[in-house]
Amino acid sequence: MMLHKNQLTVQTTQLMCFPAPNITCKDFGGNETHFTGNEVGFLKPISCRNVNGYSYKVAVALSLFLGWLGADRFYLGYPALGLLKFCTVGFCGIGSLIDFILISMQIVGPSDGSSYIIDYYGTRLTRLSITNETFRKTQLYP
C-alpha cells in the first residue's frame, strides 16, 4: 500500500487469531467450522509500527509522579515544554493533570513520530480521521 503524502511504504504482517473454544463459524459458501480454541481461525493483517525505544509504562509513570517537574515531556523529546513545566511547577498542577490524561490516552507520543513500546498485544487506541482516502459506508439493514 502506498501513501501519497510522503511516498512511504506501509508494511503489514499477518497476526494469527484463535477463536474462543466452542465457536462455530459459517463462511459464505455455507460451510460450518467448529473451533476448539487450539487452531488458527483466520489471519488478520496489521500494519507494523515504528518504535524508537520510548516505553509507554515509563512515560505514564513519569507523568504521574514527576509530571510537575516536566520529566515526562523531557523523556518524550519535548525539552521546551519540559522546561516550561519545570519553571511553572507543571502550570500550577493543571498542566500536569492534562499531560497525564493525554499521555495515558496515547494522544501525546514521542516527538519523533514513533509509537510507544507497549508490552502487550491487546487493545490500543488508534486515531480515526476522515481524509480523501477514506469514506463513510452506509449501514445496510437486513
Residue located via cell numbers 520510548: 54
Predicted confidence band of residue 25 (pLDDT cuts 50, 70, 90) = confident
Hey, where are the domains in the chain?
12-48, 54-117
Mean pLDDT of the chain: 84
Mean pLDDT throughout 115-119? Answer: 85
pTM of the model: 0.63
- The DSSP bridge partners found for residue 24 are 34
Strands, E assignment, the chain = 12-17, 23-26, 32-35, 42-47, 51-55, 115-117
Predicted confidence band of residue 8 (pLDDT cuts 50, 70, 90) = low
CB proximity list for 53: less than 8 A, separation 6 or greater: 117
Residue 8: left (phi > 0), alpha (psi -120 to 50), or beta?
beta
φ and ψ at 23, to 5 degrees? -100, 135
SS3 state of residue 47: strand
